[in-house]
């Protein structure tokens, strides 16, 4: 193989790599709208985390004011979770849409019902789903990078 043939092969290989990278960037870039939508994921997660920390801090002794606080956190989380688009969830992690709809959203919705109805059985069911969500997140969460919220200075 001559030097010029080697250069052509290297050039073709580099060109193919650039095409692959370009296609990946096209499908995985964060548009302003996608980044804004991803913030709903962030808020839903933060609301549930705040509810969990709050309940744990109370040590299981929850009075009516505590119930309302938890209900507010979980209600906001449900509203925010339902606003996240599946294409955005997929950009965060390829398997996140399934885990989100099978674990996170149902557990959060069930917690809302359990708190409203003061139903311990529902709370247990929500807790089991939430445990499954936390396990999934521990295995996969390190791969999830939420883009920053767009600002008015962003193009």
pLDDT digits (tens, 9 = 90+) for 43-101: 999 999 999 999 999 886 788 888 999 999 999 999 999 999 999 999 999 999 999 99
d(CA 128, CA 120): 12
Sign of the C-alpha dihedral, residues 77, 83, 89, 92?
A: negative
Shared-domain flag, residues 124 and 52 = yes
Determine the pLDDT at residue 24: 45
The range of the structural domain enclosing residue 40 comes to 32-143
pLDDT of residue 146 exceeding 50: yes
Residue 152: inside a domain: no
Shared-domain flag, residues 69 and 23 = no
Residue 151: inside a domain: no
Going by C-beta distance under 8 Å and a sequence separation of 6 or more, which residues neighbour residue 128?
none
Number of domains making up the chain:
2
């Amino acid at each position: 193989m001559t030097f010029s043939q080697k250069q052509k092969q290297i050039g073709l290989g580099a060109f193919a790599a650039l095409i692959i990278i370009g296609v990946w960037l096209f499908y995985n870039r964060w548009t302003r709208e996608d980044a804004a939508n991803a913030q709903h994921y962030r808020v839903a997660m933060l609301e549930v985390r705040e509810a969990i920390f709050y309940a744990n801090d109370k040590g299981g002794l929850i009075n009516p004011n505590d119930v309302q606080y938890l209900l507010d956190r979980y209600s906001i989380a449900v509203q925010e979770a339902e606003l996240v688009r599946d294409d955005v969830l997929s950009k965060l992690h390829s398997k996140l849409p399934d885990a989100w709809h099978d674990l996170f959203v149902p557990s959060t919705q069930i917690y809302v019902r359990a708190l409203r109805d003061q139903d311990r059985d529902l709370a247990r069911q929500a807790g089991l789903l939430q445990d499954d969500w936390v396990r999934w997140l521990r295995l996969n969460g390190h791969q999830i990078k939420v883009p920053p919220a767009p600002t008015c200075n962003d193009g």
